């Protein structure tokens, strides 16, 4: 918990955090427990160093999605999108938003169109094109 609060302060996200509903704050703290908040190990054995607020937010959202903390993930990703200044960060953010809405297509109105939109935005970055094309194909079936 203390580590998350430290990095929230470091990246000047205090007002964003304070304005989250209590339930989402608790989810974020719980999701972050035991996770490295400065270095994220990748599946290929290398590490990804968190260097800015957008990266902290989208990596936190990526951890929230498998736990079905969808409202938290959505808030984190939209804030990350406001702060992102690199194409790579934008690709990860739009990719996570694609996944978030794809998982909820049968549950919330408008999720299918949001999924399509973020898929197209991800493709426009030049990243994850094959994955997005597959998702768009699944949506259009």
**Domain extent listing, the chain:** 1-75, 86-141
CB-count burial class (<10 Å; 0-12, 13-18, 19+) for 42: exposed
Q: Per-10-residue mean pLDDT for the chain, 141 residues long?
A: 87 96 94 68 62 92 93 98 96 96 95 96 95 92 76
Query: What per-residue confidence (pLDDT) applies to 39?
Result: 55
């Amino acid at each position: 918990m203390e580590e998350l609060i430290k990095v929230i302060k470091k990246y000047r996200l205090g007002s964003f955090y304070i304005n989250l509903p209590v339930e989402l704050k608790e989810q974020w703290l719980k999701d972050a427990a035991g996770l490295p908040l400065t270095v994220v190990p990748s599946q290929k054995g290398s590490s990804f160093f968190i260097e800015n607020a957008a990266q902290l937010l989208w990596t936190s959202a990526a951890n929230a999605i498998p736990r079905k903390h969808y409202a938290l993930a959505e808030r984190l990703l939209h804030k990350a999108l406001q702060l992102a200044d690199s194409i790579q960060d934008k690709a990860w953010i739009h990719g996570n938003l694609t996944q978030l809405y794809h998982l909820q297509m049968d549950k919330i109105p408008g999720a299918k169109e949001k999924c399509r939109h973020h898929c197209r935005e991800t493709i426009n970055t030049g990243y994850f094109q094959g994955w997005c094309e597959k998702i768009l194909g699944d949506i259009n079936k």
